[in-house]
Amino acid sequence: MSVTWLSVLLLSSVLEEPVSAQLDSSDKQESAQPHLILIVADDLGWNDISWHNSDVISPNLGQLAREGIILENSYVQPICSPTRSALMASRYPFTIGRQNNVIKPFCPTGLTLNTTILPQELKKLGYDTHIAGKWHLGYCKWEYTPTYRGFDTFHGFYHGAQDYYTHIRTDSMEADHVTTEGTGYDYRNNTEVDFASAGDYSTFVIADTVENIIMSRDPATPLFMYVPFQSVHNPMEVPEEYSNMYSNVTNHKRRMFLGMVTAMDDAVGQIVTALKSSGHYNNSVIVFTTDNGGPNNTANNWPLRGHKGSVWEGGTRGPAFIHSPLLSNPGTVSHRMVHVTDWYPTFVRLAGGSPPSDIDGVNQWEALNNNSLPPARDYFVYDIDRTDALVAAIRSGDYKLLVGDIGHDSYDPQSPGAGHPPAAVNTGGSCKQTAAGGDLPTMQLYNITGDPSEREDLSASQPSVVKDLWLRLQQEFSRYVTKDTPPDDAAADPKNFGGVWSPGWC
């Protein structure tokens, strides 16, 4: 972190102004703060996008990526709510109790209220702030919901998944040997229930909302538009015209999944068209990322090991890019390390502000935009979970240390119908190393730069690296906050709110 913040200090004189204010002053529009567009795909795997897999039809995303900076070392959390927490708060989830667990419908909790999240910070800097899509950061009381947390408007849903057309979510809980099953509608226009969207495919509802917001506003006022798609999370649902594009794919779930990717790509194209026709595009920065690796059976993370729910590369390293007419090096591929916590300070710096000092993210804009500068980061913690046995992972430079029983270690086939590669190393094997202080937990060490597929465990041959990374990981334990998972509460049952999942029960 010291090298990173030294870089920031050296650049502080430049960063007093928004990036767009540093451009040619003859263009009046570019003297305003840049519009910030943050697009998050759900459950999109490494090999589920056209710049990694030519069989995937995603021309709009592909063009944005090719004309921007493709981020080949972009890291997220293993599952949904933790990534969204890290994105909004710029904090490692294990420091705020959000590690390795999604917020379910009956769970009376949410992203901690004791932090200033990204839209709140951008509001201070004069931005209009909007969200269209999936929230999944808590809803049991209004204070957890988007319009109470810095967003001017919210059109979307609270939970992690729902039917793409009906917007109905069913979930269950058990307490005192009694099972409560709740079924309810989950789509909102700000705080009001939006029944008008029932029957409409959520991907296109989201795109229409974003288009309407963009087209109805003055581009002279800076915009933060957060677009967390439902796509391509289960259930596997998509208009038939999209799944028919993959008639050669025999696996039904995979065919539906790929159709959902292409539908999302069309939605992104609609959003970019709106940015261009409304006068926003030339002064915009668009970031695209997945929220976690792809799940097994539908997504594809080839050639990375593991999938959603694990700290293997397949669960945490995802497709991402940054696209902007403000870039000085468009059309490039970056192998510099980027973490999901970094988008908060990057956006705040782009807007001309100063990020909070107690965050884990770093500003990436200058380092990504100028390869002559040192990388913004060379270290991050994948996750730490001490709920039962310790499970954790850390990256420093080329090396990654995994601690505990990681699981979920399979490899996906390279393409539909292809065979699996040779069996992966057994993660439950005995990899104990002895160092000063006694026996260490079960560990594995990989050189991610040279071995991104995590095939060769180096823990036995590189004990000094294991020791160094283990000591560094232990230093993070002092920041650990116990996982925030209170018991489910039947008060959330939609029958208590007229058949709607609603705040007001915790």
Residues annotated as catalytic are 80, 136
**Residues sharing a CB contact under 8 Å with residue 241, sequence separation 6 or more, in sequence order:** none
Cis peptide before 463 (omega within 30 of 0): no
Report CA-CA distances (Å) from 125 to 34, 353, 487: 12, 7, 38
What's the token pair of residue 78? 């293993």
- Name beta bridge partners: 381: 394
Enter the tokens of residue 377: 């980061």
- For residue 187, which of 162, 211, 212, 204 has the smallest C-alpha distance? 162
Query: In 3-state terms, what secondary structure has residue 74?
Result: strand
Distances (CA, A) of 431 to 156, 311, 443: 46, 17, 6
- Supply angle C-alpha 235, 239, 242, rounded to 5: 105
User: What per-residue string of b and e applies to 51-65 under the rule 16 or more CB within 10 Å gives b?
Assistant: bbbeebbbebbbbbb
C-alpha closest to that of 131 among 110, 156, 113: 156
Which candidate, 375, 377, 372, places its Cα nearest to that of 341? 377
Strand 188-189 to 153-157 pairing: antiparallel
Report the distance separating Cα 361 and Cα 163, nearest Å.
34
CA pair distance 208, 203, nearest whole angstrom: 9
Strand, coil or helix: 53: coil
Beta-bridge partner residues of 332: 69
- Encode burial over 370-405: b for 16+ CB neighbours within 10 A, e otherwise: eeeeebbbeebbbbbbeeeeebbbbbbeebbbbbbe
